[in-house]
Amino acid sequence: MAHFGVYATSRIGDRRELTGPEIILVHRLLKNTIIEAKAIPAYAFFTDAGISAMGLAGVLPGALPHEEEYEHLGAVRGFVRDLEAEWSSRRHDDPILVSDDETWVELDCAGPCSPADAWPVLTDPELRRVWLDSDGVTETGAQDQKRGVGTVQHCAHGRVTTHHTIVDWQPYERITFELRIPFGGRQRYMVTLEEQDGGVMTHCRFSSVRGRNPLHTAFLRGFTKLTGLERNLRRSQGLLEEQLRLAATSG
């Protein structure tokens, strides 16, 4: 919600609160009919007062006029912006990648299937469980069963669970995960798909583990070397190739 108006401040104990009719209006606006009236589940609503104060008149392309009516407050007019459509149009602008200078390990896996058949192998929790050699993979954050940016997959290996958050999602082309590992470390890995004659090539690129500061990072990198993380990744490479071969026969 973007609105503009006059308000007063008051203190209750050690808290500073905003008060006044315009503050009440903003709270009322949180209960609106935008989703029902416009069929837009992810939106930004700019009131006419907010648009005027920010100088946005005429510079909200694609925004739809909308009006809410509240008892004692009257009609509130403004414009609604579809945030999902906005994200879809801009999602290629700032891709989240693993660059050349960030790369720690690279793995190439070839398979006789199409990118469309390979995509579930890379994203479906049950199929990922196999090539990640995990005890189980569960998933949270997928809205209405729609997997994408923000979805988190929790991968269990014995008593240790790692958390893989999707941060870049380009179906059949590229997917990037942010991986949270034990002791507060993070690592990013990206998988790109390239269609080839008779199959697909998946290129996996893993960044180095990083911590909160240089000392923490050094500790984490020593820990990953001690636990044989690179060796485990090489094992996953073989398992992934096997999954891609199976995808060709079942796709």
Residue (of 129, 92, 123) closest to 193 by Cα position: 123
Residue 1 lies in a domain: no
Residue with tokens 């879809």: 88
- Shared domain check, 81 and 120: no
Number of folded domains that form the chain: 2
In the structure encoding, which two tokens stand for residue 233, read together? Answer: 């990744």
Residue 107 lies in a domain: yes
Residue 3 lies in a domain: no
Q: Is 208 left (phi over 0), alpha (psi -120 to 50) or beta?
A: beta
- 3 state SS of 2: strand
pLDDT at position 159, please? Answer: 87
Residue 194 lies in a domain: yes
pLDDT tens, N- to C-terminus, the chain (251 residues): 999 999 999 998 889 999 999 999 999 999 999 999 999 999 999 999 999 999 888 778 789 999 999 988 899 999 999 998 887 777 666 788 899 988 998 999 999 999 999 999 999 999 999 999 899 999 998 655 688 888 999 999 888 899 999 999 999 999 999 999 878 889 999 999 999 888 999 999 999 898 989 899 898 888 788 777 778 888 888 889 999 988 887 75
- Shared domain check, 85 and 131: no
Residue (of 173, 175, 134, 172) closest to 154 by Cα position: 134
Q: Which domain holds residue 188?
A: 94-250
Q: Of 21, 56, 89, which closes a domain?
A: 89
pTM for the whole structure: 0.62
Residue 220 lies in a domain: yes
Q: Of 69, 89, 109, which closes a domain?
A: 89
- Shared domain check, 22 and 77: yes
Q: Taking the CA of residue 22 as centre, how many other CA atoms within 13 Å lie in the half-sphere pointing to its CB?
A: 13
Task: Say which DSSP state 118 is in.
Answer: H
CA 236 vs CA 204, 223, 242: distances in Å: 11, 19, 10
- Shared domain check, 85 and 102: no
CATH number at residue 113: 3.30.530.20
- Shared domain check, 207 and 114: yes
- Shared domain check, 69 and 106: no
Q: Distance between CA atoms of 81 and 102, rounded to whole angstroms? A: 36
- Shared domain check, 114 and 63: no
- 3 state SS of 211: coil
Residue 234 lies in a domain: yes
In the structure encoding, which two tokens stand for residue 199, read together? Answer: 């199959």
Q: Yes or no: say if 113 and 251 are a contact pair by the CB < 8 Å rule.
A: yes
Q: Distance between CA atoms of 142 and 31, rounded to whole angstroms? A: 24
| Helix ranges, the chain (H) | 21-29, 34-38, 48-54, 83-90, 115-123, 125-131, 214-226, 229-250
- Shared domain check, 177 and 105: yes
pLDDT at position 165, please? Answer: 93
- Shared domain check, 243 and 124: yes
Could you tell me the sign of the dihedral formed by the alpha carbons of 96, 100, 105, 110, in that order? positive
In the structure encoding, which two tokens stand for residue 107, read together? Answer: 């793995």
- Shared domain check, 234 and 122: yes
Residue 206 lies in a domain: yes
Residue 149 lies in a domain: yes
Q: Distance between CA atoms of 106 and 202, rounded to whole angstroms? A: 11
